[in-house]
Structure 1
Amino acid sequence: MAEDEKTPAREVIADYAQAHFRYFRTADGTVYAQRTGHPVARPIRSQGTTGSHRQELMVGLYRDGIGVFNGTALKEALDLIEALALSEQVQPVHIRVAPGFDGATWLDLGRADGMSVRIHPTGWDIRTPDPREVCWKRTQLTGELPLPTRDTDGKGIDLLLRLTNFANAQAECLALAWLIGCLGPSVPVPAAFLTGPQGAGKSTAGRMLTRIVEGMSSDLRRPPKDEDSLTAAVAAGWVTALDNLSHMSPDLSDAMCCIVTGAESVKRALFTDGDVHRSSYRRPLLLTGIDVGVIRPDLAERLLPLRLERPKVRRTEAELWAEYAEVLPVVLGSLLDLTVKVRKAHAETPTDPRMADFAHLCAQLDAATGFGALAAYRASLDDLNDDVIEGDLLAQTVLTHAETIAPGAAQRMTSTEWLACLSCVYSGEEARPLPKGWPTTGKVLADRLKRLQPTLAARGVLIDSGRTKEARYLEMTRPAVPPPHEQPPLPDQGT
């Protein structure tokens, strides 16, 4: 064959690629390659340590006897494929958990063969998902899960709780509700906060809960020092677990609120002047620590405290993790069984908690099992409100002044007048000096009270704002029937 009759290398590569791979783009314009019939997708420009599509293509060409091609030919072929894929239909990629057809959800087992778990209210099964239904994205944080055991009759739940040191049945049922929430791609779940005395096994329990969803290679991490590092870690995995928190800075608190309820990060795209890179994320979050100091009200509404106690009998790490690895398939199977029962259950959606989706999940768990998870969740929120008030002198002062307002009455003043009034209440007859961090202007006071509105409302004090022709005002009201502070007794029921 004459030299000019040979097919150019870039065309050989492009023909082979389109015959063996499916190419599509995501909403942000990133082009992915998916081997025919396989659910795992890789960005064609990736050079990551988990393997790039370029490497995958080179290996396929070599093993199928097509040949070995230089970098220029590969680049030209991939440039063409990328341009063609930008006109294809948009499809999202998912890490670990994904929505499917007909109300189902999928759990990626992280296996090389792409086997995954399909979870539906009618049951769960293990299969390879249709690539057009689910596209998995893998990173270094994507660990492999064992094949879950069927027909466990709930034994895995008992095995898990035996290995952990939860202080009571209420903490146990909330931990189960959190795990079920982690298997739902559309349900925001509050950040599980494992707390307790030193030696209670908080880090161990945190690893166990995380590894049920993320695999045995998952581990706890120290909180990153900046928001960009935290965002990168969150975007690369499903459950983000931070260990041994002792302080919660305002920036970290705000970042955690965004992780729980969802946010988008926009940065300038590399090697460009005007383009941007968008990264949307909402992930389950797990924290461990004895005490994190003052908790801001907005984060308190997104926390799920799970208290642990010191074990009576200590075990070696090797013995403990060997048993955990052995029972993990049974634990995962029992959790999937429970998830199916919960999703099948019907319950009304509570409207009082901020995390209404998780409250509804707790109500479904109660309907399926009778654990009392919703009452336990409400009690935990009430305890967190107490923590917020105990750590905020302004909130304490507002509640003290509110006791002078008759039930059903309201008091209206400008923010500057309120600042003078509350400062006098705090100083008292002893004329004690105002504490550090006390509001210095009416505007600062108004902003602080807006942040404290949910916490104060839970204690029967309503703060509202408005404007007259003369000036803006703040109004403090005590409803005639304040919300109950005490929660109904929780059923003393194990799992």
Structure 2
Amino acid sequence: MSEDEKTPAREIITDYAQAHFRYFRTVDGTVYAQKNGHPVARPIRSQGTTGSHRQELMVGLFRDGIGVFNGTALKEALDLIEALALSQDVQPTHIRVAPGFDGATWLDLGRDDGQSVRIHPNGWDIRTPDPREVCWRRTQLTGELPLPARDTDGKGIDLLMRLTNFATAQTECLALAWLVGCLEPSVPIPAPFLTGPQGAGKSTAGRMLVRIIEGMSGDLRRAPKGEEDLITAVAAGWVTALDNLSHLSPDLSDAMCCIVTGAEDVKRALFTDGDVVRSRYRRPLLLTGIDVGVIRPDLAERLLPLRLERPRVRKTEAELWAEFEPALPVILGSLLDLTVQVRAAQAETPTDLRMADFAHLCAQLDAATGVGALTAYRASLDDLLDDVIEGDLLAQTALKHAAGLAPGSPDRMTSSEWLHCLTGLYSGDDCRPLPKGWPTTGKVLSDRLKRLQPTLSARGALIDWGRTREGRYIEMTRRPSPPPHQQDPLH
């Protein structure tokens, strides 16, 4: 056969690839490849250590006796495949948890055979999802989960609580609500903050909670140095757990708020001048530490404090994990059973809480089990509110001023007048020096009060902004105290 009659290598590779793989693109234009009948998708341009599509294509060509091809032929074939896939329908990829058809939710077990858990209104089962329903994306952070046990009768929940040192039953039910929330891809959930004295087992309990969702390879990480490092870590996994936090910078605090409720990051694509890369993320977040210092109000509304106590009987790390690892299938099975019960329960959505989806989940958990999760969640928010006020001298001063107002009678001033008033109230007759970070202009004061508005409102000081012919003003009103049988809304 002459050279002109030979089929070019790129065509051989392209024909083989299209016969054995399905190619599609995501909304950001990234092209993925799925082996026929398998739910795991790999970006065709990836050179990742978890196995790239280029590698699996080379292996398939070799094992099926097609041949071994050089890099140029592979590149030309992949360029053509990528161009053809850009005209295909858009389909999203998911890490660990994904929505399915007919109200179902999928949990990726991280197995090579692609078997996953399908949680549906009538229960849960284990099957390999249709690639057109779910496309799993895996990274080095995607660990393997064991096959969950059936008919556990809640034994796994009891096992988990015996292995952890949660201080109260209310804390235990909030931890369960968070775990159930981790299996729901569309519900923003607050970030648990495991706190307690030294030796309370915060890091061990945090690892256990993470490994129920991420497998035994899941672990805690050091706090990142900056926002970009945090976003990179978050994008590569489902649950992000940060250990031993002692301080939260304003930028890191804002980034955590975005992670909990969802945001999008846009940055320039490498080796280009005008192209950009979009990354959308909303992930479960878990934190541990004794104290993180001053908590900003917006982050406080997205935290879930879980207090632990020192155990009466000490166990070694080896003993704890020797108990936890064989119990993980039972724990996961019990969690799946509980998730089905919670989703089937009917409950009203509280309208006075910032994280309304999680509050509704707590109400469903109460309807299914009667554990009192919603009451515990409200109490935890109230404690965090006190922490915010204790750490902010401006909030304390504003509440002190509001306490001197007649209920329902507004006090209206310009921002500069408010700055003079609150500064004088803080300094007092002894001219106490102002603390670092105290507002220096009326504009700075107005911005600080806007951030503190929900916190002050929860303690009865209503702040509002308006404009008259004379100019803009800030108005403070003391809310009348409700009757004893009514509970103040937190937000």
2:436 & 2:12 partners in 1: Cα distance?
Answer: 72
Listed as ranges, the matches of 1:185-224 within 5 Å are 185-224=185-224
Query: How far has the Cα of 1:432 moved from its partner?
Result: 1.7
1:41 & 1:487 partners in 2: Cα distance?
Answer: 50
- Could you say which residue in structure 1 is the equivalent of 2:285? 285
Q: Which amino acid aligns with 1:383?
A: D
1:80 & 1:215 partners in 2: Cα distance?
Answer: 38
Listed as ranges, the matches of 1:70-81 within 5 Å are 70-81=70-81
Q: Does the residue aligned with 2:124 lie in a helix, a strand or coil?
A: strand
Q: Does the residue aligned with 1:91 lie in a helix, a strand or coil?
A: coil
Listed as ranges, the matches of 1:314-333 within 5 Å are 314-333=314-333
1:399 aligns with 2:399: yes
- Could you say which residue in structure 2 is the equivalent of 1:493? none
Query: How far has the Cα of 1:403 moved from its partner?
Result: 1.1
Q: Is the 1:42–1:52 contact (alpha carbons within 8 Å) kept by the matching residues of 2?
A: yes
1:132 aligns with 2:101: no
- Could you say which residue in structure 2 is the equivalent of 1:82? 82
19 and 483 in structure 1: CA distance in 2 versus 1, 3 angstrom threshold: farther
Q: Is the 1:10–1:77 contact (alpha carbons within 8 Å) kept by the matching residues of 2?
A: yes
1:143 aligns with 2:143: yes
Q: Give the root-mean-square deviation of aligned CA atoms.
A: 1.2
Residue range with higher mean Cα deviation, 399-408 or 335-344: 399-408
Listed as ranges, the matches of 1:34-433 within 5 Å are 34-433=34-433
Q: Please give the per-residue CA displacement for 1:204-238, whole angstroms capped at 9, x wherever unaligned.
A: 00000000000000110001101111111000000
1:477 & 1:7 partners in 2: Cα distance?
Answer: 82
Q: Which amino acid aligns with 2:341?
A: K
336 and 248 in structure 1: CA distance in 2 versus 1, 3 angstrom threshold: same
Q: Which runs of 5+ in 1 are unaligned?
A: 489-495
Q: Is the 1:378–1:487 contact (alpha carbons within 8 Å) kept by the matching residues of 2?
A: no
Q: Which amino acid aligns with 2:443?
A: K
2:295 & 2:429 partners in 1: Cα distance?
Answer: 30
2:149 & 2:125 partners in 1: Cα distance?
Answer: 11
Query: How far has the Cα of 1:429 moved from its partner?
Result: 2.4
Q: Does the residue aligned with 2:290 lie in a helix, a strand or coil?
A: coil
Q: Which amino acid aligns with 1:344?
A: A
158 and 323 in structure 1: CA distance in 2 versus 1, 3 angstrom threshold: same
Query: How far has the Cα of 1:409 moved from its partner?
Result: 1.3
1:483 & 1:458 partners in 2: Cα distance?
Answer: 16
Q: Does the residue aligned with 2:292 lie in a helix, a strand or coil?
A: coil
Percentage of pairs with the same residue: 84
Q: Please give the per-residue CA displacement for 1:97-120, whole angstroms capped at 9, x wherever unaligned.
A: 000000011000000000000011
Q: Is the 1:187–1:358 contact (alpha carbons within 8 Å) kept by the matching residues of 2?
A: yes
Q: Which amino acid aligns with 1:157?
A: I
Query: How far has the Cα of 1:82 moved from its partner?
Result: 0.3
- Could you say which residue in structure 2 is the equivalent of 1:491? none
TM-score by length of 1: 0.97
Q: Please give the per-residue CA displacement for 1:422-481, whole angstroms capped at 9, x wherever unaligned.
A: 111112222222222111111111011000001001101100001111110000011224
Query: How far has the Cα of 1:96 moved from its partner?
Result: 0.3
| 4+ residue runs over 4 A deviation | 482-488
1:468 aligns with 2:468: yes
Q: Does the residue aligned with 2:466 lie in a helix, a strand or coil?
A: strand
Q: Does the residue aligned with 1:295 lie in a helix, a strand or coil?
A: coil
Q: Is the 1:415–1:474 contact (alpha carbons within 8 Å) kept by the matching residues of 2?
A: yes
1:464 & 1:483 partners in 2: Cα distance?
Answer: 24
Q: Does the residue aligned with 2:463 lie in a helix, a strand or coil?
A: strand
Query: How far has the Cα of 1:485 moved from its partner?
Result: 11
Query: How far has the Cα of 1:57 moved from its partner?
Result: 0.2
- Could you say which residue in structure 1 is the equivalent of 2:31? 31
Q: Which amino acid aligns with 2:4?
A: D
Residue range with higher mean Cα deviation, 45-54 or 419-428: 419-428
Q: Does the residue aligned with 1:462 lie in a helix, a strand or coil?
A: strand
Q: Is the 1:459–1:485 contact (alpha carbons within 8 Å) kept by the matching residues of 2?
A: no
Q: Please give the per-residue CA displacement for 1:56-110, whole angstroms capped at 9, x wherever unaligned.
A: 0000000001111111111111110000000000000000000000001100000
257 and 485 in structure 1: CA distance in 2 versus 1, 3 angstrom threshold: farther
1:107 & 1:463 partners in 2: Cα distance?
Answer: 44
Q: Which amino acid aligns with 1:272?
A: T
Q: Which amino acid aligns with 2:75?
A: K
Query: How far has the Cα of 1:202 moved from its partner?
Result: 0.1
Q: Does the residue aligned with 2:339 lie in a helix, a strand or coil?
A: helix
1:423 & 1:69 partners in 2: Cα distance?
Answer: 75
1:482 & 1:80 partners in 2: Cα distance?
Answer: 69
Q: Is the 1:379–1:487 contact (alpha carbons within 8 Å) kept by the matching residues of 2?
A: no
2:465 & 2:484 partners in 1: Cα distance?
Answer: 24
Query: How far has the Cα of 1:486 moved from its partner?
Result: 9.6
198 and 233 in structure 1: CA distance in 2 versus 1, 3 angstrom threshold: same
- Could you say which residue in structure 2 is the equivalent of 1:441? 441
352 and 484 in structure 1: CA distance in 2 versus 1, 3 angstrom threshold: farther
168 and 486 in structure 1: CA distance in 2 versus 1, 3 angstrom threshold: farther
TM-score by length of 2: 0.98
1:433 & 1:110 partners in 2: Cα distance?
Answer: 58
Query: How far has the Cα of 1:345 moved from its partner?
Result: 0.4
1:12 aligns with 2:4: no
